[in-house]
Amino acid sequence: MTSSRRSSCRSNPNNKIPAIIDPNGPGGEPLPLFESGAILIYLADKARSLIPQDAVGRYQTIQWLMFQMGGRGADVRASGVLQ
Ligand SMILES: N[C@@H](CCC(=O)N[C@@H](CS)C(=O)NCC(=O)O)C(=O)O
């Protein structure tokens, strides 16, 4: 295993990108995260931006993120339905 692959595995056991390490995560501790959706939700929550703070808006935003990540969003976008 190469050193860059070992380094990648530390932040993502699935060895894919994106993966991040927030050196100043919850409680001031480093937080490694993988999966683009989890990273986006984490960063939006941390910035208190890009995702509504109210429960309805928050879950509506997350549902479209999951829709996109599940592959259907890309399929629908490619077909031109949402244009
Ligand atoms: N479900 C993952 C997918 C991650 C993924 O497939 N990443 C690709 C690049 S977009 C990758 O790392 N490919 C290299 C590989 O599979 O070795 C996410 O949304 O983060």
Residue identifier of the C-alpha nearest atom 3 of ligand 1:
35
- Residue 77 pLDDT grade (very low, low, confident, very high; cuts 50, 70, 90): low
Residue identifier of the C-alpha nearest atom 2 of ligand 1:
35
11 lines ligand 1 (CB under 6 A): no
How far away, in angstroms, is 29 Cα from ligand 1 center?
A: 26
Domains of the chain: 1-51 (3.40.30.10), 53-83 (no CATH)
16 lines ligand 1 (CB under 6 A): yes
Beta-carbon contacts of 6 under 8 Å, excluding residues fewer than 6 positions away, are none
What pLDDT is recorded for position 7? 60
| CA torsion angle 66 70 76 82 (round to 10) | 10
- In the chain, the N- to C-terminal Cα span, in Å, equals 45
Give tens-digit pLDDT for 31-72: 999 999 999 999 999 999 999 999 999 999 999 999 998 887
What pLDDT is recorded for position 27? 97
Predicted model pTM: 0.81
